[in-house]
């Protein structure tokens, strides 16, 4: 990245991203790559509809084969995407088991949205509640490390929990991750949440004994995906998914929206809305909005206007969240302020996960293709 500020002429990704590249027309590599992915995965509307219908048929066949009362497992956070997955499946005659990982940071609104949507749709909820003292220590280990992705413990535990329950019921996992609203996210901003080497290393450095935290080791990954043949499918990629249209449908069911994407969690709200932009100079709104621009769900001009407001969310709420964050972690305000001044540290210092990933990239890609295969059984 040079010292000259530049913004993409097509989306709102800019030179704050270290590996961004602009062509002669000022278009960045991120929106060009996103467009290629979208063209590949959304080649024809009719094809998408056929794939979706086949998935629904396969789900029914699979649950009948294993004599399960449920047809699939879905994760539910209270956010728009996961809530819409619940609606979409129920609308198409699928009976999912909703799984929620309670890491101790749910907002009241998230809890209410989960209860409202699942109650209206008559979907059973299974909640995994974290051992807070152990989880708090692991989150603190990540905070003390000064790496940029503080969400790794939560994201890792969610995936591990979903796989455990899917394995128990011999069911596929259908999730809300999608290209329509999430096609752009710089790898330099985040670190892979499946990196159990990193979690174990930071726990060892901080003298934390892992007792109940659901570590997803290589052996478990192979067990779940190869031996148990669990499928992990982004169902929203096989429909014409529009975030605003989805929100309208959910609001008719009593759903209430949040200020920003992923703000259903108090931790994530404070992390993405305050820590990331102020400590790590990362504003994830740029990636979120750029994804929506690519799929024509918002204009570039509207996005620039949104970004012109330097305050990502209400200043009074930030202060409340900061106080809550510090109290929950037993940190003084001064200790938190000192943390915010510490320089960023690369996760690669603690883990060789990325080196292993690069070395076995072909094998990992083959495994990924197998995991996300559209046929259920």
Does residue 295 fall inside a structural domain? no
Amino acid 43: pLDDT: 52
Amino acid 365: pLDDT: 63
> pTM, whole model, 2 decimals?
0.92
Amino acid 358: pLDDT: 64
b/e per residue, 25-59, with b = 16+ CB within 10 A? eebbbbbbebbeebeeebeeeeebeeebeebbebb
Amino acid 44: pLDDT: 46
Does residue 20 fall inside a structural domain? no
State how far the Cα of 220 lies from the Cα of 156, in Å rounded to an integer: 13
Q: Please state the domain count of the chain.
A: 1
Amino acid 374: pLDDT: 55
Does residue 24 fall inside a structural domain? no
Does residue 164 fall inside a structural domain? yes
* Residue numbers of the domain that contains 218: 44-282+314-371
Does residue 84 fall inside a structural domain? yes
pLDDT lower than 50: segments of the chain: 1, 44-45, 377
Q: Do 286 and 14 touch, CB atoms closer than 8 A?
A: yes
Does residue 1 fall inside a structural domain? no
**What is the sign, positive or negative, of the torsion defined by CA atoms of 296, 300, 301, 306?**
positive
Does residue 197 fall inside a structural domain? yes
Q: What CATH number is given to the structural domain containing 73?
A: 3.40.50.620
């Amino acid at each position: 990245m040079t010292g000259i500020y530049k913004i993409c002429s097509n989306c709102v990704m800019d030179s704050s991203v270290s590996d961004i590249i602009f062509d002669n027309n000022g278009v960045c590599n991120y929106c060009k790559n996103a467009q290629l992915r979208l063209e590949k995965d959304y080649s024809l509307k009719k094809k998408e509809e056929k794939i979706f219908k086949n998935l629904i048929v396969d789900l029914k066949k699979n649950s009948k084969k294993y004599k399960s009362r449920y047809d699939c497992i879905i994760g539910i956070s209270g956010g728009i995407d996961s809530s819409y997955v619940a609606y979409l499946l129920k609308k198409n005659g699928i009976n999912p088991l909703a799984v929620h990982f309670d890491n101790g940071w749910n907002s009241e609104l998230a809890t209410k949205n989960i209860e409202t949507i699942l109650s209206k749709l008559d979907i059973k909820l299974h909640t995994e509640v974290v051992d807070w003292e152990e989880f708090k220590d692991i989150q603190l280990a990540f905070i003390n490390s000064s790496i940029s992705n503080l969400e790794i413990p939560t994201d890792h535990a969610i995936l591990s929990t979903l796989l455990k329950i899917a394995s128990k019921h011999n069911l596929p996992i259908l999730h809300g991750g999608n290209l329509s609203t999430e096609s752009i996210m710089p790898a330099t901003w985040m670190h892979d949440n499946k990196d159990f080497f990193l979690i174990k290393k930071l726990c060892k450095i901080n003298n934390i004994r892992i007792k109940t935290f659901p570590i997803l080791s290589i052996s478990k990954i192979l067990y779940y995906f190869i031996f148990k043949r669990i499928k992990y499918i982004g169902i929203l990629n096989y429909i014409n998914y529009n975030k605003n249209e989805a929100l309208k449908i959910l609001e008719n069911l009593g759903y209430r929206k949040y200020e920003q994407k992923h703000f259903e969690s108090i931790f994530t709200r404070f992390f993405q809305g305050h820590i990331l932009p102020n400590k790590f100079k990362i504003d994830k709104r740029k990636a979120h909005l750029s994804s929506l621009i690519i799929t024509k769900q918002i204009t570039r001009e509207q996005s620039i206007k949104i970004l012109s407001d330097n305050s990502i969310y209400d200043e009074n709420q930030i202060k409340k969240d900061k106080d809550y964050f510090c109290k929950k972690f037993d940190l003084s305000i001064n200790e938190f302020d000192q943390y915010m001044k510490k320089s960023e540290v690369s996760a690669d210092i603690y883990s060789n996960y990325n080196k292993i990933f690069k070395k076995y990239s072909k094998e990992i890609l083959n495994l990924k293709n197998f995991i996300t295969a559209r046929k259920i059984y």
